[in-house]
Structure 1
Amino acid sequence: MRIEDFSNTLIRNADGIYVASESRNVSYPTEGHMDCFQVEDRSFWFKHRNECIGAMISRHPFDGALFDIGGGNGYVSQMLAERGFDVALVEPGYAGALNAHKQRGLPQVISSTVEDANFAPQSIDAMGMFDVVEHIEGDRAFLEKMAPLLKTGGRLYLTVPCHGWLWSRADIDAGHFRRHTERSLQVLLEGLFEIDYLSYFFGPLVLPQVLFRAIPFRLGLGRKAVLSTEAEHGAKSGPVVGLLNKLLAREASKIRRGEQLRFGASCLLAAHRI
Protein backbone atom coordinates (compact mmCIF):
# COMPACT_ATOMS: atom_id res chain seq x y z
CA MET A 1 0.00 0.00 0.00
CA ARG A 2 1.13 3.54 -0.84
CA ILE A 3 -0.69 6.33 0.98
CA GLU A 4 0.19 8.60 -1.95
CA ASP A 5 -2.16 6.49 -4.11
CA PHE A 6 -5.10 7.54 -1.93
CA SER A 7 -4.30 11.20 -1.17
CA ASN A 8 -1.98 13.70 -2.85
CA THR A 9 -2.00 16.19 0.03
CA LEU A 10 -0.73 14.14 2.97
CA ILE A 11 2.94 14.63 3.88
CA ARG A 12 5.13 12.16 5.77
CA ASN A 13 6.89 13.92 8.66
CA ALA A 14 10.10 13.22 10.55
CA ASP A 15 8.34 10.64 12.76
CA GLY A 16 7.31 8.66 9.68
CA ILE A 17 3.65 9.61 10.11
CA TYR A 18 1.52 11.11 7.36
CA VAL A 19 -0.08 14.41 8.36
CA ALA A 20 -2.51 16.89 6.83
CA SER A 21 -1.85 20.62 6.74
CA GLU A 22 -4.85 21.13 9.04
CA SER A 23 -6.92 18.85 11.24
CA ARG A 24 -10.14 19.67 13.09
CA ASN A 25 -10.94 18.80 16.67
CA VAL A 26 -12.74 15.58 17.60
CA SER A 27 -14.88 14.60 20.59
CA TYR A 28 -12.34 12.48 22.42
CA PRO A 29 -10.46 13.28 25.65
CA THR A 30 -6.88 14.40 25.05
CA GLU A 31 -5.51 11.92 27.59
CA GLY A 32 -7.62 9.04 26.26
CA HIS A 33 -4.97 7.46 24.05
CA MET A 34 -2.38 7.20 26.79
CA ASP A 35 -4.93 5.90 29.29
CA CYS A 36 -5.96 3.16 26.84
CA PHE A 37 -2.41 2.36 25.75
CA GLN A 38 -1.51 1.49 29.34
CA VAL A 39 -4.23 -1.18 29.57
CA GLU A 40 -4.94 -2.42 26.02
CA ASP A 41 -2.53 -5.35 25.96
CA ARG A 42 -3.72 -6.61 29.37
CA SER A 43 -7.42 -5.92 28.93
CA PHE A 44 -10.08 -8.60 28.41
CA TRP A 45 -12.31 -5.90 26.89
CA PHE A 46 -9.89 -4.94 24.11
CA LYS A 47 -8.89 -8.57 23.57
CA HIS A 48 -12.51 -9.73 23.21
CA ARG A 49 -13.42 -6.88 20.90
CA ASN A 50 -10.46 -7.82 18.69
CA GLU A 51 -11.52 -11.47 18.66
CA CYS A 52 -15.04 -10.54 17.60
CA ILE A 53 -13.89 -8.04 14.96
CA GLY A 54 -11.45 -10.58 13.53
CA ALA A 55 -14.13 -13.29 13.49
CA MET A 56 -16.61 -11.02 11.73
CA ILE A 57 -14.11 -9.89 9.09
CA SER A 58 -13.02 -13.46 8.40
CA ARG A 59 -16.66 -14.30 7.50
CA HIS A 60 -17.25 -11.01 5.64
CA PRO A 61 -13.83 -10.25 4.13
CA PHE A 62 -12.67 -7.36 1.99
CA ASP A 63 -10.34 -7.17 -0.98
CA GLY A 64 -7.44 -4.71 -0.96
CA ALA A 65 -6.68 -2.42 1.98
CA LEU A 66 -8.66 -1.39 5.06
CA PHE A 67 -8.46 2.11 6.53
CA ASP A 68 -8.96 1.99 10.32
CA ILE A 69 -10.68 5.34 10.90
CA GLY A 70 -10.16 6.76 14.39
CA GLY A 71 -8.02 3.74 15.17
CA GLY A 72 -6.37 5.16 18.30
CA ASN A 73 -3.17 3.41 19.33
CA GLY A 74 -3.51 0.83 16.57
CA TYR A 75 -4.66 -2.11 18.70
CA VAL A 76 -7.18 -3.31 16.10
CA SER A 77 -4.93 -2.44 13.15
CA GLN A 78 -2.07 -4.44 14.64
CA MET A 79 -4.32 -7.50 15.02
CA LEU A 80 -5.52 -7.23 11.43
CA ALA A 81 -1.97 -6.73 10.12
CA GLU A 82 -0.81 -9.81 12.04
CA ARG A 83 -3.60 -11.78 10.33
CA GLY A 84 -2.27 -10.77 6.93
CA PHE A 85 -4.56 -7.85 6.09
CA ASP A 86 -3.28 -4.66 4.47
CA VAL A 87 -4.14 -1.86 6.91
CA ALA A 88 -3.65 1.90 7.22
CA LEU A 89 -4.52 3.68 10.46
CA VAL A 90 -6.16 7.12 10.42
CA GLU A 91 -6.08 8.80 13.83
CA PRO A 92 -6.54 12.55 14.50
CA GLY A 93 -4.81 12.40 17.90
CA TYR A 94 -1.06 12.56 17.40
CA ALA A 95 -0.29 10.64 20.61
CA GLY A 96 -2.33 7.68 19.36
CA ALA A 97 -0.81 7.83 15.88
CA LEU A 98 2.69 7.92 17.37
CA ASN A 99 1.96 4.90 19.58
CA ALA A 100 0.61 3.00 16.59
CA HIS A 101 3.68 3.72 14.46
CA LYS A 102 6.50 3.67 16.99
CA GLN A 103 5.23 1.20 19.61
CA ARG A 104 3.04 -1.14 17.55
CA GLY A 105 5.17 -0.96 14.41
CA LEU A 106 2.40 -0.10 11.96
CA PRO A 107 4.03 1.28 8.80
CA GLN A 108 1.10 3.22 7.35
CA VAL A 109 -0.19 5.73 9.92
CA ILE A 110 -2.01 8.98 9.17
CA SER A 111 -2.55 11.59 11.88
CA SER A 112 -5.59 13.46 10.58
CA THR A 113 -9.33 13.39 10.47
CA VAL A 114 -10.55 11.45 7.45
CA GLU A 115 -12.09 14.65 6.05
CA ASP A 116 -8.78 16.55 6.21
CA ALA A 117 -6.85 13.61 4.73
CA ASN A 118 -8.48 14.43 1.38
CA PHE A 119 -8.80 10.85 0.14
CA ALA A 120 -9.79 10.47 -3.50
CA PRO A 121 -13.39 9.42 -4.23
CA GLN A 122 -13.95 5.68 -4.67
CA SER A 123 -10.34 4.92 -3.73
CA ILE A 124 -10.80 2.93 -0.51
CA ASP A 125 -11.60 -0.80 -0.42
CA ALA A 126 -12.75 -1.01 3.21
CA MET A 127 -13.18 1.15 6.30
CA GLY A 128 -13.25 0.16 9.95
CA MET A 129 -14.74 2.47 12.58
CA PHE A 130 -14.37 0.68 15.87
CA ASP A 131 -16.09 2.64 18.66
CA VAL A 132 -15.86 5.82 16.61
CA VAL A 133 -19.26 7.00 15.30
CA GLU A 134 -20.65 7.52 18.82
CA HIS A 135 -18.05 10.32 19.14
CA ILE A 136 -19.48 12.16 16.11
CA GLU A 137 -22.47 14.43 16.74
CA GLY A 138 -23.58 14.47 13.11
CA ASP A 139 -22.97 10.77 12.49
CA ARG A 140 -25.32 10.46 9.51
CA ALA A 141 -23.74 13.47 7.76
CA PHE A 142 -20.31 11.99 8.49
CA LEU A 143 -21.21 8.65 6.88
CA GLU A 144 -22.69 10.48 3.90
CA LYS A 145 -19.22 11.98 3.38
CA MET A 146 -17.44 8.67 3.96
CA ALA A 147 -19.53 6.52 1.61
CA PRO A 148 -18.28 8.18 -1.63
CA LEU A 149 -14.68 7.48 -0.61
CA LEU A 150 -15.40 3.74 -0.75
CA LYS A 151 -15.48 1.81 -3.96
CA THR A 152 -18.92 0.50 -4.91
CA GLY A 153 -19.36 -2.65 -2.84
CA GLY A 154 -16.57 -1.54 -0.50
CA ARG A 155 -16.82 -2.79 3.07
CA LEU A 156 -17.71 -0.88 6.22
CA TYR A 157 -17.12 -2.44 9.65
CA LEU A 158 -18.45 -0.83 12.85
CA THR A 159 -18.52 -1.39 16.57
CA VAL A 160 -20.58 0.88 18.87
CA PRO A 161 -21.78 0.97 22.48
CA CYS A 162 -25.48 0.15 22.81
CA HIS A 163 -28.70 1.04 24.65
CA GLY A 164 -29.59 4.48 25.95
CA TRP A 165 -30.55 2.98 29.28
CA LEU A 166 -26.85 2.13 29.80
CA TRP A 167 -25.89 5.80 29.43
CA SER A 168 -23.62 6.93 32.24
CA ARG A 169 -20.86 9.30 33.29
CA ALA A 170 -18.45 7.02 31.43
CA ASP A 171 -20.12 7.97 28.14
CA ILE A 172 -19.85 11.67 28.92
CA ASP A 173 -16.20 11.38 29.96
CA ALA A 174 -15.43 9.43 26.77
CA GLY A 175 -17.00 12.11 24.56
CA HIS A 176 -19.95 10.03 23.38
CA PHE A 177 -23.05 11.62 21.85
CA ARG A 178 -25.23 8.50 21.89
CA ARG A 179 -25.50 4.76 22.35
CA HIS A 180 -27.05 2.70 19.57
CA THR A 181 -29.46 -0.20 19.03
CA GLU A 182 -29.88 -2.59 16.12
CA ARG A 183 -32.69 -0.40 14.80
CA SER A 184 -30.81 2.89 15.12
CA LEU A 185 -27.88 1.40 13.20
CA GLN A 186 -30.21 0.28 10.43
CA VAL A 187 -31.59 3.81 10.19
CA LEU A 188 -28.11 5.34 10.33
CA LEU A 189 -26.88 3.31 7.35
CA GLU A 190 -30.10 3.30 5.33
CA GLY A 191 -29.59 4.30 1.70
CA LEU A 192 -25.80 4.33 2.04
CA PHE A 193 -24.85 0.80 3.04
CA GLU A 194 -26.47 -2.61 3.04
CA ILE A 195 -25.90 -4.51 6.29
CA ASP A 196 -24.53 -8.02 5.80
CA TYR A 197 -24.11 -8.95 9.46
CA LEU A 198 -25.16 -7.28 12.71
CA SER A 199 -24.85 -8.70 16.21
CA TYR A 200 -24.79 -7.56 19.80
CA PHE A 201 -21.83 -8.60 21.92
CA PHE A 202 -20.40 -8.02 25.42
CA GLY A 203 -23.56 -9.56 26.87
CA PRO A 204 -21.90 -10.45 30.22
CA LEU A 205 -21.06 -6.77 30.77
CA VAL A 206 -24.64 -5.50 30.69
CA LEU A 207 -25.39 -6.18 34.36
CA PRO A 208 -22.06 -4.72 35.65
CA GLN A 209 -22.62 -1.62 33.52
CA VAL A 210 -26.12 -1.22 34.93
CA LEU A 211 -24.95 -1.66 38.52
CA PHE A 212 -21.68 0.27 38.45
CA ARG A 213 -22.32 2.88 35.78
CA ALA A 214 -25.94 3.50 34.77
CA ILE A 215 -27.63 3.36 38.19
CA PRO A 216 -25.02 5.47 40.02
CA PHE A 217 -25.24 8.03 37.21
CA ARG A 218 -29.04 8.21 37.38
CA LEU A 219 -28.84 8.62 41.15
CA GLY A 220 -26.34 11.45 40.76
CA LEU A 221 -23.65 9.65 42.73
CA GLY A 222 -20.37 11.39 41.95
CA ARG A 223 -19.11 13.50 39.11
CA LYS A 224 -16.75 10.86 37.74
CA ALA A 225 -17.15 7.31 36.48
CA VAL A 226 -17.31 4.79 39.32
CA LEU A 227 -14.68 2.50 37.83
CA SER A 228 -11.16 3.45 36.73
CA THR A 229 -10.08 2.78 33.14
CA GLU A 230 -7.94 -0.11 34.37
CA ALA A 231 -10.72 -1.69 36.42
CA GLU A 232 -13.39 -1.15 33.78
CA HIS A 233 -11.37 -2.85 31.06
CA GLY A 234 -10.27 -5.75 33.23
CA ALA A 235 -6.54 -5.06 33.08
CA LYS A 236 -6.03 -6.97 36.33
CA SER A 237 -6.47 -10.72 36.64
CA GLY A 238 -8.72 -12.39 39.18
CA PRO A 239 -11.66 -14.80 39.51
CA VAL A 240 -14.20 -12.28 38.17
CA VAL A 241 -12.10 -11.54 35.10
CA GLY A 242 -11.52 -15.28 34.64
CA LEU A 243 -15.28 -15.92 34.65
CA LEU A 244 -15.91 -13.07 32.22
CA ASN A 245 -13.26 -14.43 29.87
CA LYS A 246 -15.01 -17.81 29.78
CA LEU A 247 -18.39 -16.22 29.08
CA LEU A 248 -16.97 -13.92 26.43
CA ALA A 249 -15.14 -16.78 24.72
CA ARG A 250 -18.55 -18.35 24.02
CA GLU A 251 -19.65 -15.11 22.35
CA ALA A 252 -16.59 -15.04 20.13
CA SER A 253 -17.19 -18.65 19.11
CA LYS A 254 -20.76 -17.87 18.08
CA ILE A 255 -19.69 -14.84 16.05
CA ARG A 256 -16.99 -16.99 14.44
CA ARG A 257 -19.79 -19.35 13.31
CA GLY A 258 -21.79 -16.44 11.92
CA GLU A 259 -24.49 -16.50 14.61
CA GLN A 260 -26.20 -13.25 15.58
CA LEU A 261 -26.42 -12.48 19.30
CA ARG A 262 -29.57 -10.69 20.45
CA PHE A 263 -28.23 -9.17 23.66
CA GLY A 264 -25.17 -7.18 24.65
CA ALA A 265 -23.66 -3.87 25.71
CA SER A 266 -22.21 -3.24 22.22
CA CYS A 267 -22.98 -3.98 18.56
CA LEU A 268 -20.73 -4.91 15.65
CA LEU A 269 -21.64 -5.01 12.00
CA ALA A 270 -20.32 -5.59 8.51
CA ALA A 271 -21.89 -3.75 5.58
CA HIS A 272 -21.11 -2.82 2.00
CA ARG A 273 -21.58 0.38 0.05
CA ILE A 274 -24.63 0.41 -2.15
Structure 2
Amino acid sequence: MTSGGYDPEHFGKLFALEAASFWFRGRSDLINWALDRNFPAAKSFLELGCGTGYVISRIREVHPDWRLVGTELFEEGLAKARIRMPSGVELRQQDATQSPYDSEFDVVGAFDVIEHVENAPAVLAGMYKAVKPGGGLLITVPQHKWLWSEADVAAHHVKRYTKRELTDELRAAGFEVSRVASFVSLLLPAMMASRLLKKDAGNVEEELDMAAPLNKACYGVMRLESALVRAGLNFPVGGSLLAIARRPA
Protein backbone atom coordinates (compact mmCIF):
# COMPACT_ATOMS: atom_id res chain seq x y z
CA MET A 1 0.00 0.00 0.00
CA THR A 2 1.24 3.49 -0.79
CA SER A 3 -0.16 6.75 0.51
CA GLY A 4 1.01 10.30 0.96
CA GLY A 5 3.87 9.84 -1.50
CA TYR A 6 5.59 6.97 0.29
CA ASP A 7 5.45 3.18 0.52
CA PRO A 8 5.37 2.14 4.21
CA GLU A 9 6.84 -1.25 3.32
CA HIS A 10 10.21 0.53 3.03
CA PHE A 11 10.38 1.27 6.77
CA GLY A 12 11.57 -2.22 7.68
CA LYS A 13 14.41 -1.99 5.17
CA LEU A 14 15.34 1.49 6.36
CA PHE A 15 15.37 0.45 10.00
CA ALA A 16 17.85 -2.33 9.22
CA LEU A 17 20.04 -0.10 7.05
CA GLU A 18 20.20 3.42 8.51
CA ALA A 19 22.53 3.07 11.50
CA ALA A 20 25.35 1.57 9.39
CA SER A 21 24.77 3.37 6.08
CA PHE A 22 27.30 6.02 5.09
CA TRP A 23 24.54 8.21 3.63
CA PHE A 24 22.24 8.26 6.65
CA ARG A 25 25.17 8.64 9.04
CA GLY A 26 26.74 11.40 6.97
CA ARG A 27 23.47 13.29 6.60
CA SER A 28 22.80 13.09 10.36
CA ASP A 29 26.33 14.29 11.14
CA LEU A 30 25.65 17.36 8.99
CA ILE A 31 22.22 17.95 10.55
CA ASN A 32 23.60 17.78 14.09
CA TRP A 33 26.37 20.21 13.20
CA ALA A 34 23.94 22.65 11.57
CA LEU A 35 21.61 22.43 14.55
CA ASP A 36 24.27 23.20 17.15
CA ARG A 37 26.17 25.72 15.03
CA ASN A 38 23.17 27.83 14.08
CA PHE A 39 20.82 27.40 17.05
CA PRO A 40 23.04 26.97 20.12
CA ALA A 41 20.34 28.14 22.57
CA ALA A 42 17.76 25.60 21.39
CA LYS A 43 16.03 23.35 23.93
CA SER A 44 13.26 21.83 21.82
CA PHE A 45 13.05 20.24 18.39
CA LEU A 46 10.22 18.97 16.17
CA GLU A 47 10.88 16.62 13.25
CA LEU A 48 8.13 16.19 10.65
CA GLY A 49 8.17 12.89 8.79
CA CYS A 50 10.54 11.26 11.28
CA GLY A 51 10.19 7.79 9.72
CA THR A 52 11.93 5.18 11.86
CA GLY A 53 13.38 7.88 14.13
CA TYR A 54 17.03 7.67 13.11
CA VAL A 55 17.70 11.41 12.81
CA ILE A 56 15.92 12.38 15.99
CA SER A 57 17.60 9.52 17.88
CA ARG A 58 20.98 10.97 16.87
CA ILE A 59 19.88 14.38 18.15
CA ARG A 60 18.74 12.74 21.39
CA GLU A 61 22.22 11.25 21.90
CA VAL A 62 23.67 14.77 21.96
CA HIS A 63 20.76 16.52 23.68
CA PRO A 64 19.00 14.07 26.03
CA ASP A 65 17.56 16.97 28.04
CA TRP A 66 15.70 18.58 25.12
CA ARG A 67 12.01 18.26 24.36
CA LEU A 68 12.05 16.12 21.22
CA VAL A 69 8.94 15.41 19.15
CA GLY A 70 8.74 13.27 16.02
CA THR A 71 5.68 13.08 13.79
CA GLU A 72 5.06 10.55 11.03
CA LEU A 73 2.12 9.78 8.75
CA PHE A 74 2.62 6.03 8.86
CA GLU A 75 2.23 3.82 11.91
CA GLU A 76 4.74 1.41 10.34
CA GLY A 77 7.46 4.05 10.74
CA LEU A 78 6.43 4.97 14.27
CA ALA A 79 6.52 1.32 15.33
CA LYS A 80 10.19 1.16 14.33
CA ALA A 81 10.88 4.52 16.00
CA ARG A 82 9.45 3.19 19.28
CA ILE A 83 11.87 0.27 19.11
CA ARG A 84 14.75 2.64 18.48
CA MET A 85 13.65 5.08 21.21
CA PRO A 86 11.45 3.38 23.82
CA SER A 87 11.38 6.58 25.89
CA GLY A 88 12.49 10.20 25.87
CA VAL A 89 10.93 11.27 22.56
CA GLU A 90 7.30 12.16 21.91
CA LEU A 91 6.09 10.27 18.82
CA ARG A 92 2.85 11.17 17.11
CA GLN A 93 1.02 9.98 14.01
CA GLN A 94 0.29 13.04 11.92
CA ASP A 95 0.02 14.30 8.36
CA ALA A 96 2.92 16.70 7.72
CA THR A 97 0.54 19.13 6.00
CA GLN A 98 -1.65 19.43 9.12
CA SER A 99 0.60 20.47 11.99
CA PRO A 100 -1.31 21.37 15.19
CA TYR A 101 1.59 23.20 16.85
CA ASP A 102 1.72 26.96 17.38
CA SER A 103 5.03 28.65 18.27
CA GLU A 104 6.12 25.68 20.43
CA PHE A 105 9.60 24.69 19.23
CA ASP A 106 13.02 26.32 19.06
CA VAL A 107 13.85 24.41 15.87
CA VAL A 108 11.81 22.37 13.40
CA GLY A 109 13.12 20.00 10.76
CA ALA A 110 12.06 17.79 7.87
CA PHE A 111 14.67 15.58 6.24
CA ASP A 112 13.94 14.22 2.77
CA VAL A 113 10.22 14.69 3.33
CA ILE A 114 8.78 17.56 1.28
CA GLU A 115 9.87 16.06 -2.04
CA HIS A 116 7.29 13.32 -1.35
CA VAL A 117 4.42 15.79 -0.86
CA GLU A 118 2.37 17.38 -3.62
CA ASN A 119 1.51 20.31 -1.36
CA ALA A 120 4.98 21.07 0.00
CA PRO A 121 4.03 24.72 0.77
CA ALA A 122 1.46 23.43 3.29
CA VAL A 123 4.21 21.50 5.09
CA LEU A 124 6.43 24.58 5.21
CA ALA A 125 3.54 26.74 6.41
CA GLY A 126 2.95 24.30 9.26
CA MET A 127 6.63 24.35 10.16
CA TYR A 128 6.59 28.15 10.19
CA LYS A 129 3.62 28.08 12.56
CA ALA A 130 5.18 25.42 14.81
CA VAL A 131 8.52 27.19 15.37
CA LYS A 132 8.83 30.07 17.82
CA PRO A 133 9.47 33.58 16.47
CA GLY A 134 13.24 33.79 16.10
CA GLY A 135 13.46 29.99 15.97
CA GLY A 136 15.09 27.89 13.28
CA LEU A 137 14.39 25.49 10.48
CA LEU A 138 16.55 22.74 8.99
CA ILE A 139 15.50 20.85 5.88
CA THR A 140 17.06 18.46 3.39
CA VAL A 141 15.84 17.54 -0.10
CA PRO A 142 17.24 15.75 -3.16
CA GLN A 143 18.93 18.10 -5.63
CA HIS A 144 19.09 18.47 -9.43
CA LYS A 145 16.27 17.65 -11.80
CA TRP A 146 18.76 16.05 -14.18
CA LEU A 147 19.44 13.36 -11.57
CA TRP A 148 15.83 12.16 -11.79
CA SER A 149 15.78 8.38 -12.29
CA GLU A 150 13.82 5.23 -11.59
CA ALA A 151 15.13 5.43 -8.01
CA ASP A 152 13.10 8.63 -7.56
CA VAL A 153 10.04 6.91 -8.99
CA ALA A 154 10.52 3.96 -6.64
CA ALA A 155 10.89 6.36 -3.70
CA HIS A 156 7.64 8.15 -4.69
CA HIS A 157 9.34 11.51 -5.09
CA VAL A 158 7.28 14.34 -6.53
CA LYS A 159 10.35 16.36 -7.52
CA ARG A 160 14.05 17.05 -7.06
CA TYR A 161 14.91 20.62 -6.08
CA THR A 162 17.20 23.34 -7.32
CA LYS A 163 18.73 25.75 -4.81
CA ARG A 164 16.54 28.54 -6.16
CA GLU A 165 13.35 26.51 -5.89
CA LEU A 166 14.03 25.53 -2.28
CA THR A 167 15.00 29.09 -1.34
CA ASP A 168 11.88 30.50 -2.99
CA GLU A 169 9.56 28.02 -1.24
CA LEU A 170 11.11 28.78 2.16
CA ARG A 171 10.84 32.53 1.63
CA ALA A 172 7.25 32.18 0.44
CA ALA A 173 6.48 30.44 3.74
CA GLY A 174 7.93 33.43 5.62
CA PHE A 175 11.38 32.12 6.55
CA GLU A 176 14.62 34.08 6.32
CA VAL A 177 17.09 31.77 4.58
CA SER A 178 20.61 31.72 6.02
CA ARG A 179 22.23 29.11 3.80
CA VAL A 180 21.40 26.46 1.23
CA ALA A 181 24.32 24.05 0.82
CA SER A 182 24.85 21.09 -1.48
CA PHE A 183 26.10 17.82 -0.03
CA VAL A 184 26.81 14.35 -1.41
CA SER A 185 28.99 16.37 -3.76
CA LEU A 186 32.28 14.46 -3.76
CA LEU A 187 30.35 11.24 -4.32
CA LEU A 188 28.18 12.75 -7.05
CA PRO A 189 30.02 10.99 -9.94
CA ALA A 190 29.30 7.63 -8.32
CA MET A 191 25.71 8.65 -7.71
CA MET A 192 25.33 9.73 -11.33
CA ALA A 193 26.66 6.39 -12.50
CA SER A 194 24.21 4.56 -10.28
CA ARG A 195 21.20 6.72 -11.14
CA LEU A 196 21.75 7.51 -14.80
CA LEU A 197 23.56 4.50 -16.23
CA LYS A 198 21.45 1.83 -14.56
CA LYS A 199 18.12 2.12 -16.29
CA ASP A 200 16.67 -0.61 -14.07
CA ALA A 201 17.77 1.10 -10.81
CA GLY A 202 15.72 0.04 -7.81
CA ASN A 203 14.86 1.93 -4.66
CA VAL A 204 17.26 3.92 -2.52
CA GLU A 205 17.55 1.19 0.12
CA GLU A 206 18.86 -1.25 -2.48
CA GLU A 207 21.27 1.38 -3.83
CA LEU A 208 22.73 2.05 -0.37
CA ASP A 209 22.93 -1.56 0.76
CA MET A 210 26.59 -2.15 -0.12
CA ALA A 211 29.58 -4.14 1.08
CA ALA A 212 31.06 -2.95 4.38
CA PRO A 213 34.46 -1.84 3.00
CA LEU A 214 32.83 0.29 0.29
CA ASN A 215 30.35 1.71 2.78
CA LYS A 216 33.22 2.64 5.11
CA ALA A 217 35.11 4.34 2.29
CA CYS A 218 32.02 6.33 1.27
CA TYR A 219 31.51 7.45 4.86
CA GLY A 220 35.08 8.69 4.93
CA VAL A 221 34.38 10.78 1.84
CA MET A 222 31.20 12.13 3.45
CA ARG A 223 33.18 13.11 6.57
CA LEU A 224 35.72 14.99 4.46
CA GLU A 225 32.94 16.72 2.56
CA SER A 226 31.18 17.65 5.80
CA ALA A 227 34.37 19.26 7.09
CA LEU A 228 34.56 21.38 3.94
CA VAL A 229 30.90 22.42 4.26
CA ARG A 230 31.47 23.35 7.90
CA ALA A 231 34.45 25.44 6.84
CA GLY A 232 32.17 27.45 4.57
CA LEU A 233 32.75 25.83 1.19
CA ASN A 234 29.66 25.89 -1.03
CA PHE A 235 29.76 23.09 -3.56
CA PRO A 236 28.13 24.03 -6.88
CA VAL A 237 26.49 20.61 -7.24
CA GLY A 238 25.46 17.71 -5.05
CA GLY A 239 22.99 14.91 -4.65
CA SER A 240 21.17 16.72 -1.82
CA LEU A 241 20.57 20.14 -0.34
CA LEU A 242 20.62 21.30 3.28
CA ALA A 243 18.75 24.53 4.04
CA ILE A 244 19.16 26.57 7.22
CA ALA A 245 16.53 29.23 7.87
CA ARG A 246 14.85 31.18 10.64
CA ARG A 247 11.40 32.51 11.43
CA PRO A 248 11.74 36.27 11.94
CA ALA A 249 11.55 37.33 15.59
The residue that corresponds to 1:236 in the other structure is 211
Q: Does 1:131 align with 2:112?
A: yes
Q: Secondary structure at the match of 2:212?
A: coil
* 1:205 aligns with one of 172, 187, 192: 187
The residue that corresponds to 1:64 in the other structure is 43
* 1:78 aligns with one of 49, 57, 67: 57
* 1:167 aligns with one of 148, 152, 168: 148
- For the structure 1 residues 79 and 228, does the alpha-carbon distance in structure 2 shift closer, same or farther, using more than 3 Å as the test? closer
Aligned length: 241
Q: Report matched runs for 1:142-221 at 5 Å.
A: 142-191=123-172, 192-216=174-198, 221=199
- For the structure 1 residues 165 and 228, does the alpha-carbon distance in structure 2 shift closer, same or farther, using more than 3 Å as the test? closer
Question: 2-side partners of 1:176 and 1:202: how far apart?
Answer: 18
Q: Is the radius of gyration larger for structure 1 or structure 2?
A: 1
Q: Secondary structure at the match of 1:143?
A: helix
Question: 2-side partners of 1:69 and 1:126: how far apart?
Answer: 11
Q: Does 1:261 align with 2:243?
A: no
TM-score by length of 1: 0.81
Q: Secondary structure at the match of 1:46?
A: helix
Gap regions ≥5 residues in structure 2:
none
Cα distance per residue 1:107-132 (max 9 Å; x no partner): 3111222455522x222322110001
Q: Secondary structure at the match of 1:42?
A: coil
Question: 2-side partners of 1:53 and 1:204: how far apart?
Answer: 18
Q: Give the aligned residue type for 2:176.
A: E
The residue that corresponds to 2:92 in the other structure is 110
Cα RMSD, aligned residues only? 2.0
Deviation at 1:173, TM superposition (A): 1.0
Contact kept? 2:117, 2:158, Cα under 8 Å: yes
Q: Give the aligned residue type for 2:69.
A: A
Contact kept? 1:213, 1:226, Cα under 8 Å: no
Question: 1-side partners of 2:225 and 2:204: how far apart?
Answer: 25
Q: Give the aligned residue type for 1:123.
A: E
The residue that corresponds to 1:40 in the other structure is 18
